[in-house]
Amino acid sequence: MPSPKSSKRAKAPAFEPQQLDLLWTPVGLVAGVDEAGRGPLAGPVVAAAVILDDQQPIKGLNDSKKLTPATRERLFDEIRAKALCLCIAEANVEEIDQINILQATMLAMKRAVEGLRLKPAQVLVDGNRLPVLKVPAEAIVQGDAKVTAIAAASILAKVHRDRLCQQLHERYPHYGFDGHKGYGTAAHLAALAAHGACPEHRRSFSPVREALEIRPLP
């Protein structure tokens, strides 16, 4: 048997500053988090975090993409009225272009969680990636169809961003933001070719970059 002096203490593994997989579920408030606007060519990416009130259930919560615009609007108001707390946050076009869309999405999610009035014991995030948070978190693929708090967050983020796109349409009507919501549809690409990019377009996205090569911003 080796003497105590000759034994070596095992080094603790070095972890990156990210969320670790949890083998236990903390007791307390649970926040759902989701985003809207990763794919569009213009406008901010939006994230929402929400803690629902078990004493005030909300019927019809689902993945926002599976709901009609009218249903999303109705649920948006109901969530805001009944949730214990919520926060909607953004990462703007400049941040998207500086740190890329994935990191900007994580940044918006982090801002949403940190903006909650109440601190959750656990955060459940839609997808397979997590922002760096100071509370335990879990990523859930297709979480917006499985977890009501995530579904509520998806509705908040989607409606908020759609309203931003309506504002963009009023400022830049020739792009049609009220219809395509910034996504790279044929109509949007045709408007980019005809008019070039506006200040709210994401210059790091290739269709916008190509449009700027033809028609630079003044």
- Average pLDDT rounded to a whole number, residues 166-178: 97
207-213 average pLDDT score: 90
| pLDDT band at residue 213 using 50, 70 and 90 as cut-offs | confident
| Whole-number percent of the chain with pLDDT over 90 | 82
How many helices (H) does the chain have, and how many strands (E)?
A: 7, 5
Q: Give the pLDDT confidence score for residue 217 in this predicted structure.
A: 60
| pLDDT at 12 (0 to 100) | 39
Given pLDDT bands bounded at 50, 70 and 90, which one contains residue 17?
very low
Element (H, E) at 112: helix 101-114
pLDDT tens digits, residue range 53-105?
999 999 999 999 899 999 999 999 999 999 999 999 999 999 999 999 999 99
Q: Average pLDDT over the chain, rounded to whole?
A: 89
Average pLDDT over residues 163-190: 97
Q: What is the pTM of this model?
A: 0.85
Q: What per-residue string of b and e applies to 40-63 under the rule 16 or more CB within 10 Å gives b?
A: bbbbbbbbbbbbbeeeeebeebbb
Is 117 in a helix, a strand, or coil?
Answer: coil
Q: What's the pLDDT score for residue 218?
A: 53
Q: End-to-end alpha-carbon separation of the chain, Å?
A: 78
What is the rounded CA–CA span in Å between residue 91 and residue 108? 5
Q: What is the pLDDT of residues 145-166, one digit of tens each?
A: 999 999 999 999 999 999 999 9
Q: At what angle do helices 69-82 and 148-171 cross, to 10 degrees?
A: 120
**Can you give the pLDDT at residue 26?**
53
pLDDT of residue 4: 42
Confidence of residue 27 (pLDDT cuts 50, 70, 90): low
| Residue labelled with tokens 């709210």 | 200
pLDDT for 212 equals 86
Q: What is the pLDDT of residue 16?
A: 39
